[in-house]
Amino acid sequence: MAGTDRTRDAILGGPAIVLVRPQLGENIGAAARAMLNFGLTDLRLVAPRDGWPNIKAVNAAAGAIEVLDRVRLFDTAAQAIADLRHVYAATARPRDMLKPVVAPRKAAADMRRRTGAGEACGVLFGPERTGLDNDDVALADAVLAVPINPAYASLNLAQAVLLVGYEWFQAGAETPGEAMPESRSPPATHGDLENFFDHLERELVACGFLRNKEMRPVVVRNIRNMFLRAGLFEHEVDTLHGIVTELAKGRGEESPKAKD
């Protein structure tokens, strides 16, 4: 195969690429091929429409076996990013959410710095036809937006993955790792945060704060975004669990901290 040399050492690893509800096997395979071009091998699929494994994906991957052999399946985007410390949502559409918006080059440099400090990172990509929905974007710490012709901002899935992979690869020689001070608590994973969000939402429903069911999804997303912007550490999430639990006790109720 042109451009492939199996006698050379492959560059493997990098941030997780999370394809949320991908529709076509061919697009999954093309995304896997784009990933391996730039040394990315952590591919996660959330509820692929046509199931997995998928022979059309294998054919379109053009030999990117290192990626396809490592594919992990998840039912939800929240599950797919639970072990990650920092997550970007790739979207071309403006959203009414207060999240940092960065271009792939800035995101790649930031991910290089974070992974050098031991923080696992990832990028969410939505379905080919509709892209990520608001609930998916709400899971992320920041929005990744590609500077592109505003009159024609449509990229296919593999193109979007390729852009992120290219910037990640180029940033490799530019951003040295950053050591995490030993005395510092590690950053909270998205799984830690989801446990806290579930705990907080239950208590907000119980106390009546979320009594308006029509507005509840918007309010919950706004609350989630506030905490995500804070960049919480594990011990801080534990403290927040404790605060919520003690406030619930004040109502004569106790909702213990949830842990999966």
In a domain, 141, yes or no: yes
The span from the CA of 14 to the CA of 84, in Å, is: 12
Domain match, 72 and 116 both: yes
Domain match, 108 and 201 both: no
> Among 173, 206, 225, which residue terminates a domain?
173
pLDDT, greater one: 239 or 6: 239
Domain count, the chain: 2
The span from the CA of 245 to the CA of 226, in Å, is: 20
In a domain, 117, yes or no: yes
Residue in the block written with tokens 């991957």: 61
pLDDT tens digits, one per residue of 167-223: 999 998 554 444 444 546 788 999 999 999 999 999 999 999 999 989 999 999 999
Of the chain, the end-to-end C-alpha distance in Å amounts to: 45
Flag whether pLDDT at 64 surpasses 80.
yes
Beta pairing, strands 101-102 & 43-46: unpaired
> Among 131, 147, 173, which residue terminates a domain?
173
Domain match, 151 and 50 both: yes
Strands (E), 24-99: 43-46, 72-74, 86-90
Domain match, 195 and 160 both: no
In a domain, 260, yes or no: no
In a domain, 180, yes or no: no
| Range(s) of the domain holding residue 222 | 190-249
Residue in the block written with tokens 């999240």: 99
Flag whether pLDDT at 96 surpasses 90.
no
Domain match, 225 and 156 both: no
What is the share, in percent, of the chain residues with pLDDT greater than 70? 86
Q: pLDDT grade, residue 230 (50/70/90)?
A: confident
Least confident residue range of 19-33, 59-73, 86-100, 165-179: 165-179
The reported pLDDT for the residue numbered 173 is: 58
In a domain, 11, yes or no: no
Domain match, 204 and 80 both: no
In a domain, 4, yes or no: no
In a domain, 123, yes or no: yes
The reported pLDDT for the residue numbered 149 is: 87
Domain match, 100 and 198 both: no
CATH number of the domain at 209, please.
1.10.8
In a domain, 183, yes or no: no
Flag whether pLDDT at 84 surpasses 90.
yes
The reported pLDDT for the residue numbered 177 is: 47
Peptide bond before 53: cis, by omega within 30 degrees of 0? yes
Domain match, 165 and 197 both: no
Q: What is the mean pLDDT of the chain?
A: 86
The DSSP string of 120-155 is -EEEEE--TTT---HHHHHTSSEEE-----TT----
Domain match, 153 and 218 both: no
The reported pTM is: 0.75
The reported pLDDT for the residue numbered 231 is: 86
Q: pLDDT grade, residue 154 (50/70/90)?
A: confident
pLDDT average, residue stretch 48-69: 93
CATH number of the domain at 100, please.
3.40.1280.10
The span from the CA of 62 to the CA of 24, in Å, is: 16
Flag whether pLDDT at 244 surpasses 50.
yes
Domain match, 202 and 85 both: no
The span from the CA of 63 to the CA of 45, in Å, is: 19
Structural contact between residues 20 and 126, judged by C-beta atoms closer than 8 angstroms: yes
Domain match, 214 and 127 both: no
Domain match, 51 and 138 both: yes
